[in-house]
């Protein structure tokens, strides 16, 4: 039987859409029966969506140019020495 | 009973940059195919086909999040889709499907890849004349001529079938424009898995329009003409040319009304500016003339219109309008140069609301639909255009449109810039810094957890890259090489600190079992305010052990492919996959208490 442990070991590729067909069908068969694994895959997909769409680590657009200017000043200085 | 094979080796799905967005697009494309199959399977029973169309042929999977705000738009798009497919009855089922997917072939990267299977006939080489015409129209609209249409009518296709074919390609461009925006930049920036090298067609002089207008009358036509007179004050020739297919025309006008009519978010002048700008980018003299006239009527000055045509960034417009027009240019269907996605953050910073941005995108999508119709039907301008495109304008794009012979350059244009830096052209480095600052910053902020430190470390990363540019041999992407420097820089900072900040969550090397198995709410994004969600994500990511945090940052936040993330971290692919999955599961644990439904706990 395809257990919950098997599911946890294999569902990374399933999430990425690159699971082998035989694994994919085992996972889907297991998901039809196992409520807990349904919850895990649903909440993991939601986690991926949330983290992907989050802009918590994003540099504000207006802050790019000052960094570019500083880097280029330092690069030109470095080049001159 | 089934045995469990070992974990598969590296998949070839390099375009799966982002699982969340992949699911979104999977839903879009697979439902597209399903909907086409259902429609075709419904056979000739028009009532059944209509039901299938009503039930499934809508943009709602991809626009569902905005549906409550734009019900008229969704309903109008659904009605147009139904009308187009009903009018396409004279085309074979296979041709209908291929034509609808053909627009994907004109879009770049992953969008093209995902739609490619649907845009080919079974044999790959046995395309019908109408599909060959559709492919030319999708990718090289301004090159279409009356001779192309005559060839089809000569081969026995009635005018109504040709108009339906044009409308199918136009609808595909509408959908791809919306999808391109919602999916995000990596879907546009990525190189397609298969690059077809083909020559830009020879432009030929043509007479237009390609058809005459029908003189039939019907209630549907009368109503559509009255509606469009109310909007524009006259009936444009592009509309008249479609009078052969009254229902198609009526639903198109309904969608036009849903796009341009409401002024709750963007005003009419803002929408016409967007449409005018994109028409200029698409080299559509017809739409430049139409929207230029509308802008004049509602108060734009001739200079403002010319500036908007030549360079929206220099136009004397309010900042939100200037930013919107400038970004919208990226969604043109006549591509010149590289592809890019609309920068939502930039638009928000310019003062636009999310609803205004969505309206801007939908206006752009509708402009792409009209541009395609015009290219396919050859409508002649109703007014003298503010500026005219000439053949040479189209051929300015040839060098950039035609795939280059140098595959490396095509895959990663940064390699050529890096080579110039290596050769002593220091100033060229600025372009690399500007392109990659935000990506490098995101990696470092996610690693070190402090924005100021991340800013300094971002500069240090570029300095190191410049000093060691000789070591970059172009065997990997420049962005991957740079990311590996950023990861090393961030890791050094963490190692200088005492290791106290990252081990809140248990790190069990020998297995990780999810503990939180209560169902989550259906729409987590609606359960919490954006700022609360951002805080939770930041705290959750920063609490991950460093190795899982790095993997998750590269894969999900910086959206590198698994292969590129592996290369940047110097790890094998299986080890990288394991770390990404562990990072995702751990982050899930930290989000779960805030997003679970309030039922009893159950454990695996």
Q: Do B557 and A52 touch (CB under 8 A)?
A: yes
Q: What is the full per-residue pLDDT of chain A (81 aa) written as tens digits?
A: 788 888 888 888 888 777 888 888 898 889 888 988 899 988 998 898 888 878 899 888 888 899 999 999 999 998 887
Instruction: Please state, in angstroms and rounded to a whole number, the distance separating the CA atoms of residues B115 and B287.
Output: 28
Instruction: Please state, in angstroms and rounded to a whole number, the distance separating the CA atoms of residues B269 and A57.
Output: 35
Q: What is the predicted pLDDT for the residue at B219? A: 82
Three-state DSSP at B596 gives: strand
Going by C-alpha positions, the residue among B200, B539, B232 that lies closest to residue B399 is B200
ipTM summary value: 0.94
Please give the structure tokens belonging to residue B223: 């109503």
What crossing angle do the helices spanning B562-569 and B478-496 adopt, rounded to 10°? 50
Interface of B with A in 345-364 (CB under 8 A): 345-346, 349
CB-CB contact of B456 with B424 (8 Å)? no
Q: Do A52 and B18 touch (CB under 8 A)?
A: yes
Q: Do B1 and A47 touch (CB under 8 A)?
A: no
Instruction: Please state, in angstroms and rounded to a whole number, the distance separating the CA atoms of residues B514 and B508.
Output: 12
Which one-letter DSSP state was computed for residue B555?
I
Instruction: Please state, in angstroms and rounded to a whole number, the distance separating the CA atoms of residues B277 and B316.
Output: 14
Per-block average pLDDT, block size 10, for chain B (604 residues)? 26 28 40 49 46 37 51 79 80 78 69 55 57 87 88 86 91 80 56 49 70 75 86 86 88 90 90 93 88 88 84 82 90 67 84 87 93 92 67 43 31 80 89 90 94 95 93 84 93 77 49 76 81 92 93 89 88 89 92 79 42
Interface of B with A in 466-525 (CB under 8 A): 466-467, 512-514, 516-520, 524-525
Q: What is the predicted pLDDT for the residue at B109? A: 56
Helix H or strand E encompassing B62:
helix B60-63
Instruction: Please state, in angstroms and rounded to a whole number, the distance separating the CA atoms of residues B252 and B224.
Output: 9
Q: Do A20 and B18 touch (CB under 8 A)?
A: no
| Smallest Cα distance from A69 to chain B, Å | 8
Residue in B closest to A53 by C-alpha: B557
Name every chain A residue with its beta carbon within 8 A of the beta carbon of B562. 16
B559 contacts chain A (CB < 8 A): yes
Instruction: Please state, in angstroms and rounded to a whole number, the distance separating the CA atoms of residues A79 and B55.
Output: 65
Q: What is the predicted pLDDT for the residue at B599? A: 54
Nearest CB to B604; choose among A4, A11, A79: A4
Name every chain B residue with its beta carbon within 8 A of the beta carbon of A71. 433, 459, 462-463
B197 contacts chain A (CB < 8 A): no
- Helical residues (DSSP H) of B261-331, grouped into ranges: 268-281, 285-297, 302-310, 319-328
Please give the structure tokens belonging to residue B412: 């990663």
Q: Is B467 exposed, middle or buried (0-12, 13-18, 19+ CB in 10 A)?
A: exposed
Going by C-alpha positions, the residue among B127, B212, B207 that lies closest to residue B163 is B212
Please give the structure tokens belonging to residue B42: 């419904």
Maximum distance among all Cα pairs of chain B, rounded to whole angstroms:
82
Q: What is the pTM of this model?
A: 0.53
CB-CB contact of B255 with B80 (8 Å)? yes
Going by C-alpha positions, the residue among B167, B155, B308, B312 that lies closest to residue B249 is B167
Q: Do B349 and A60 touch (CB under 8 A)?
A: yes
Please give the structure tokens belonging to residue B104: 């994907």
Phi, psi values for residue B359, rounded to 5°? -60, -40
Number of A/B CB contacts below 8 angstroms equals 194
Q: Is B294 exposed, middle or buried (0-12, 13-18, 19+ CB in 10 A)?
A: buried
Q: What is the predicted pLDDT for the residue at B403? A: 28
Three-state DSSP at B520 gives: strand
Cα atoms in the Cβ-side hemisphere of radius 13 Å centred on B581: 23
Which residues face B596 on adjacent strands? B520
In degrees, rounded to 5, the angle at the alpha carbon of residue B504 between the alpha carbons of residues B458 and B461 is 10
Instruction: Please state, in angstroms and rounded to a whole number, the distance separating the CA atoms of residues A10 and A31.
Output: 13
Which residues face B493 on adjacent strands? none
Q: Do B520 and A57 touch (CB under 8 A)?
A: no
């Amino acid at each position: 039987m395809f257990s919950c442990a098997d599911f946890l070991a294999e569902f990374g590729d399933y999430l990425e859409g690159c699971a082998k067909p035989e694994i994919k069908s085992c996972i889907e068969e297991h998901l039809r029966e196992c409520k807990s694994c349904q919850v895990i895959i649903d909440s993991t997909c939601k986690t991926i969506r949330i983290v992907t769409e989050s802009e918590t680590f994003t540099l504000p657009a207006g802050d790019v140019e000052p960094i570019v200017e500083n880097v280029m000043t330092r690069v030109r200085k470095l080049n001159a020495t | 009973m089934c045995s469990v094979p070992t974990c598969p080796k590296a998949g070839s799905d390099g375009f799966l940059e982002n699982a969340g967005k992949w699911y979104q697009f999977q839903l879009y494309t697979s439902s597209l195919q399903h909907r086409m199959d259902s429609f075709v399977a419904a056979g000739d029973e028009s009532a059944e086909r209509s039901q299938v169309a009503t039930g499934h042929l809508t943009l709602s999977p991809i626009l569902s999040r905005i549906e409550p705000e734009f019900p008229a738009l969704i309903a109008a798009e659904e009605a147009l889709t139904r009308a187009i497919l009903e009018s396409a009855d004279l085309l074979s089922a296979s041709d209908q499907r291929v034509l609808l997917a053909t627009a994907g072939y004109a879009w770049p990267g992953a969008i093209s890849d995902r739609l490619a299977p649907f845009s080919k006939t079974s044999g790959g080489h046995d395309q019908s004349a109408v599909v060959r015409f559709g492919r030319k129209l999708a990718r090289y609209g301004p090159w279409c001529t009356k001779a192309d249409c005559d060839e089809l009518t000569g081969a026995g296709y009635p005018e109504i079938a040709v108009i339906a074919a044009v409308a199918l390609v136009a609808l595909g461009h509408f959908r791809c424009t919306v999808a391109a925006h919602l999916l995000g930049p990596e879907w546009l920036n990525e190189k397609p898995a298969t690059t077809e090298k083909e020559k830009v067609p020879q432009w030929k002089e043509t007479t237009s329009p390609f058809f005459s207008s029908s003189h039939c009358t019907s209630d549907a036509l009368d109503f559509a003409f009255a509606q469009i007179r109310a909007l524009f004050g006259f009936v444009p020739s592009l509309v008249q040319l479609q009078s052969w297919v009254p229902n198609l025309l009526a639903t198109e006008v309904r969608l036009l009304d849903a796009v341009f009519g409401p002024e709750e978010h963007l005003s009419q002048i803002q929408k016409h500016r967007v449409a005018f700008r994109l028409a200029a980018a698409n080299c559509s003299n017809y739409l430049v003339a139409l929207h230029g006239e509308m802008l004049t009527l509602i108060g734009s000055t001739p200079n403002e219109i010319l500036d908007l045509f030549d360079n929206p960034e220099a136009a004397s417009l309010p900042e939100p309008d200037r930013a919107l027009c400038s970004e919208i240019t990226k969604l043109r269907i006549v591509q010149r140069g590289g592809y890019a996605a609309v920068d939502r953050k930039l638009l928000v910073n310019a003062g636009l609301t999310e609803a205004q941005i969505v309206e801007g995108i939908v206006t752009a999508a509708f402009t792409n639909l009209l541009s395609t119709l015009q290219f396919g039907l050859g409508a002649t301008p109703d007014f003298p255009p503010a500026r005219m495109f000439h053949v040479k304008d189209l051929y300015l794009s040839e060098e950039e449109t035609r795939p280059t012979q140098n595959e490396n350059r095509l895959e990663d244009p940064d390699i050529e810039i890096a080579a110039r830096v290596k050769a002593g052209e220091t100033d060229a480095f600025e372009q690399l810094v500007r392109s990659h600052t935000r990506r490098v910053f995101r990696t470092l902020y996610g690693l070190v957890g402090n924005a100021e430190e991340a800013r300094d470390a971002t500069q240090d990363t570029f300095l190191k890259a410049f000093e060691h540019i000789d070591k970059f041999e172009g065997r990997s992407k420049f962005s991957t090489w740079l990311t590996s420097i950023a990861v090393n820089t961030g890791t050094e900072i963490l190692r200088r600190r005492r290791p106290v900040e990252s081990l809140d969550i248990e790190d069990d090397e020998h297995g990780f079992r999810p503990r939180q198995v209560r169902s989550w709410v259906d729409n987590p994004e609606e359960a919490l305010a954006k700022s609360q969600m951002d805080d939770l994500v930041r705290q959750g990511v920063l609490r991950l052990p460093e190795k899982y945090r790095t993997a998750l940052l590269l894969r999900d936040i910086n959206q590198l492919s698994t292969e590129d993330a592996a290369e940047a971290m110097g790890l094998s692919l299986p080890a990288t996959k394991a770390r990404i999955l562990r990072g995702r599961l751990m982050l899930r644990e930290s989000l779960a208490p805030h997003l679970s439904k309030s039922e009893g706990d159950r454990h695996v």
